[in-house]
Structure 1
């Protein structure tokens, strides 16, 4: 059995069953026993009084799939997402993605992340970028078609790198001004047109901290869908010169930290970043940021043990 992912929105991904998106009859037939997740306009999932996912049955929504988004299948059961307001659905509670990732079964958080990402695309891409005409969503919600000029629009995902940068002994971390007082994390940034991922790592680190990364040293670690609102985080580790960091306008501060400082930061409860205490507090287990930090520390420790 494959081990569980160390971060959210990966485990339990549906079989997306792309071939069914063009088969309205099959989707209609699956609706009566389908699972349905309902989202409000802010992208929160409807939940019961105990903040558990309000997983509706298609049979309870008698008007059929209509404009529901077909998310895929789990154990042979179809899953859809719907706009709660459009269907007149209410519930005792609403849950955001971060809370769901921390509290719900992994597959439900992954389902929610997928539904939220598609919802955000629908909300932000209602008109054709070529002619300005209104888009009509087809293929069970996965294609925006302009009847004015015939253009087709597909869901957008913004690629971003997130990197553990090391000078061989230390890890480079930064913090933003709006973060809790003790919170630090690794550098991240979006890929620009015409860039390789490795080039993005080097550019973002230089822009945000002034540290020079050796482009050919960047090694891929893992990726994470990050629907805040629609990114794919690509985790890397890379070697850099031991330059003194300086913060840019995106960061309040940037520093090198020793392995022991990083180890202590990982041992702290990430929810205590606003509290009193010594040392740093690192990213939530929900995020791939913590994973790339842990990968660096593990590699550092292994290298020291092998000496």
Structure 2
């Protein structure tokens, strides 16, 4: 017979019914545990088959009831635990969402700084006229802010203490992964029609900024671990809201870069249609859109989101 969780504040039952129900339920629960323990002991051979709970016929010692009573008491006390654990989990999830939102706002602020701060020191600085300079500055700003934020927030804390040599090796691997990402994107852009020799610097800097928006967050959150990358970007592979947000920002950056290439062949003769300005701007807008949308989407669906390791 189902009854509300033990310790619930709203019990639509009369006190008389509670007084009758709780002792009987406790007796039934204890009987079930005692019978299960007896069957287990008989099956394992620890108790002879002709010896019951009261001991042997010759006055043997009785079976201790401490373990069954402890199991029954534990089960009764654990009836109130799911609600408490759910409340604690929701609180932790809301806290992580706030941290995620603040982190993303600072990343957006770094892009805004890359637009306005260089104009204070460089003459005739603008995103369109000095686009390559802005790409380098924006990449540096976003990378630095990502590193500082993930070192400060530490969304994936590890209990293992790593040595200095391990940290240096990990840093060098991250640098190699970033360079491989830049060259890989450069090759992909050329295969999709970008100039092979002409505008090679522009194409490579486009690959750098796209790697900054996609590869750098992966390295900060997951490290140089291809298995973890494949797990996160596979179906139902995320284990935290940070990885869920990483999925959305990475995909939105790629989609923005792809949409930015659509106006290039049009005969509008606008300065932002020159390769690769529209693509880099599209990737930037896609990255910013992912930073804004992902915390809001996670907060909206926080009750439906479940993670394996939470």
TM-score (norm 2): 0.28
Structure with larger Rg: 2
Greater share of residues in helix: 2
